[in-house]
Amino acid sequence: QQKVQQSPESLTVSEGAMASLNCTFSDGTSDNFRWYRQHSGKGLEVLVSIFSDGEKEEGRFTAHLNRASLHVSLHIREPQPSDSAVYLCAMSRGTGGYKVVFGSGTRLLVSP
């Protein structure tokens, strides 16, 4: 079963400074990678979906995927205090009724 490791466990950045989050996975069988955000006590919100190596930008959120190095990252440009949340990376394979495997999350705190 695919294993997903996120780092760091927690991160504090100042408002406006770039925030970078990382995710490594155990094998290259996954096709689809996503980054989610979860505010305290809320459901998950998808931020970026990326399906091929390279970069994908959605507003202030940019994901980088490198399957060869089993790594996917998320960069948040100009983070704001409202971006303080837990960020989860997730990956899956393209089969019907697919199962998504999540990382354990990075808790981001953006200080004003």
Partner 1 sequence: DPKIIQKPKYLVAVTGSEKILICEQYLGHNAMYWYRQSAKKPLEFMFSYSYQKLMDNQTASSRFQPQSSKKNHLDLQITALKPDDSATYFCASSQDGGANSDYTFGSGTRLLVI
**Cβ–Cβ < 8 Å for 46, 102:** no
**Cβ–Cβ < 8 Å for 7, 19:** no
Should residue 100 be labelled a site residue for partner 1 when binding is judged by CB under 8 A? yes
Residue 91: CB minimum distance to partner 1, A:
9
Should residue 93 be labelled a site residue for partner 1 when binding is judged by CB under 8 A? yes
Return the residues of window 37-66 that contact partner 1 according to CB under 8 A. 41-46, 49, 51
Q: Which two tokens stand for residue 72?
A: 């996917």
Among 65, 72, 85, 105, binds partner 1 (CB under 8 A): 105
Between CA 23 and CA 72 the distance in angstroms is 5
What is the separation of C-alpha 112 from the centre of its chain, rounded to a whole number of angstroms?
23
Query: What is the contact surface with partner 1 in residues (CB under 8 A)?
Result: 4, 31-32, 34, 36, 41-46, 49, 51, 88, 90, 92-105
